[in-house]
Structure 1
Amino acid sequence: MGLGLIISIALVISVKGESMNNTCDSSPCKNGGTCQNSNEEPYYTCVCHPEYQGTQCEEITFIISTTNNCKYHVNLRDKKLFTDTKSTCRSLGGARAMMKTAKIQNLVESQAIKQYGATGGEIGFWIGGYKDKNRWTWADGTDVPTTGKNSKWAVNQHSSNGYMMFITSFRTTRENMKWHAVPNNLKKKGYICEISVVDRCLLFPCLNSGTCTSIGCQRKCQCMGGYMGENCKNNVCDSSPCTNGGTCELSTKEPYYTCVCQPEYRGTQCKNIRLFHDTTNNCKYHVNLYDKKSFVETNSTCSSLGGAIAMMKTTEIQDLVESRIIKQYGATGEALEFWIGGFKVSNSWMWVDGTDVPTTGKDSKWSTNHHTSTGSMILSPHGGDRENMMWFAKPNNRKRGYICEISAVDRCLLFPCHNSGTCTQIGCQKKCDCMWGYTGENCENRVSQISCFQSGISIQWNRENHKMGRVYKLHLEDLTSKTTKATNVQILVTEEASINIGNVSDPSPIHCFPSTRLSISPNKYILVDLWVARIRMSLKSVAKVHYIFDESKLKVELVDLS
């Protein structure tokens, strides 16, 4: 009995000692941990690398952020390519870390220092940012900031291409780590993963049937058509995509809304003005009652559209515009008022291109006696019926609807001014500024001329400008000194339509040089018509024609004496 007990005790001691001596031989420590024998069960201790923990170094080391319920794993031992870190972090239930705030950056930096020390060689970690189409994005598709307090880019690194790394700024200290762009995926580096502590899609669900996807400690909503925002809370109409008073309605097709535009506008967002085309005169018209303006504002608006306030020069144009008004706003209803391109100046009504507005005839649409008033012109129904609209004179400052005209062609190209005249397009009209010696709609007619020769002065006149039987006086002006004096030469306009004056002096000869201007203007009285001479009628409103010498050329200047 005694001998058996001794043998049993010795056997137990022998077996226990053998277990103590051979425990580390089975390599119980994982992930590169170092096994050390121990006198206590399990008779070994694992000294883990800083990236791992647990009895056998089987658990990864995390730093937990209570601010955003997120765990971070910092790993410098198991170096990987950038592309491989995606699957590694995903296998942990997370994603490559997205350093979206300064607090997260400071937390991860402190963990790196805790694991690897505050001093030593440079260390770097792949994080969840990359450049795509010249734009830096995080792994969840949001933008990586390049400026501001949450941006940790090292100097000019954001202008490079590649993948993002969190790297120590200095080789001696590991504080104040920065973001760097690494241009290729050829080097294995450390990495940082983020894993959510909570189910973010459960805590923060996507609204309006949106689909939630958890990406690391972030979550992303894929919204159903018509909805938008971080939680799919807003629909596309909340952003007011329809302009110019358009009404937004949700749709099942992209862009998931439809704009019901005011009659003056068109397009997906009602940004384009609605025009109707008159093929007869190659002119487009825009009728607008929604965006009311004063006459001056209307002039500016129509100019910005490349046109002018509409000039109702013919019955055909009037009828066309009237039919458009009825189409847009109906044939009956409240009285509508639209600015058109006529205004009164010096007791005369003029269109904005400088031509006369008729007060009588088939193309005149004046309401009774309104042409005797002042102001600017509007087009308005005579009553509730919107057919047979009339012209009215109204004050300029009140806001009303308006009508613009925009030419569909380049009228100055199609109908050029002759004889070097300058063409200006005004709406669907064109105007010629004629060179000296010419007049007419297209500068096709010659006017009076003065020619200077050594022997004297030759004067020719056009009877449209200078009437027969009227006496004109020759004036001499020195443009340098800006002085003018009448000569002793008087010109009687006769059927000859020309006159030559030799050896003119007053008292010295008249010389032609660049700073001289000669002009002919009516004498104070008509001398030939005896009946007019008897009542000595003063010619107060007759145009004076100046002829300015420009070296070998003469330039005509018309001056209104009224």
Structure 2
Amino acid sequence: CHINALFLFFFCPSRCTCTAGWTGPDCSEDINECESEPCLNGATCFESVKPGQFVCICPPFYTGDFCHQRFMEINECLSRPCKNNGTCLDLINRFICNCAPGYYGSLCEMDINECETLPCLHGGSCINRLGGYRCVCLPGFTGDRCEVNIDECMSSPCLNNGSCIDGISSYKCLCKRGFIGTNCEINVNECLPNPCLHGRCIDLTDGYRCSCEPGWTSSRCEININECESAPCLNGGSCQDAINAFVCACLSGYTGRFCEVDVDVCTLCFNGGVCVDGPGRTFHCR
């Protein structure tokens, strides 16, 4: 007999009595306990390491040594065990919580302190909240994490065609000629220093214009017009320039503003002589 047998010897021929799990004349053949399909309801049978035994792996909702007993599955999620809007996943005899952002723990009962990771940029202050956080941004920044630099030039603060340069929580205006002020809102009065020497100053948008008094010219009315340039004096008279005027110094025998009048000197003939007037102060008597 094999070691898996009991040897019986009385007064008859010898015979082997096999232990559990073995068979054959000498008890050397291993019995496959799963051959008889002992596991019910679709269960899977596995031979045990112990001789003569087997194990049934039951499908859902069945139990017992042979998976012959059906039981009612309890939905552990009905009691809503997951906190803070966590999602419950029901399993066999247990459940799992899938937590919403900002929470952790087996029941999603623990609040994550999002401020520990310093999410707020550019000096913003972090305020932890249930399931999240909020950033209080410094002036000049916005966004969930204070990541956006506010463009102060978006509102077009610079007037009168001034150019805007954006800064951190500020802006600077580059003003066109003739304007000053934070927003180029002040029209510079170019007439204040009295640039027109002999005339009236007219303030313009980007400068000034001089309306000169008679006899003066140029952009600042500083040049006296020379009225003698047109040679107004006739008959050899000499011109003397004045302010918006001229004076003719006439040669002898001529008079008038322009020396245009020939002086009649014929009154000088005596004793009935007939005077014949000539150019200037010339004459002869007949």
Question: Quick check: which one's helix share is greater?
Answer: 1
Q: Which has the larger radius of gyration?
A: 2
Higher RCO by CA contacts (8 Å cutoff, separation 6 or greater): 1
TM-score between the two structures when normalised by the length of structure 2: 0.29
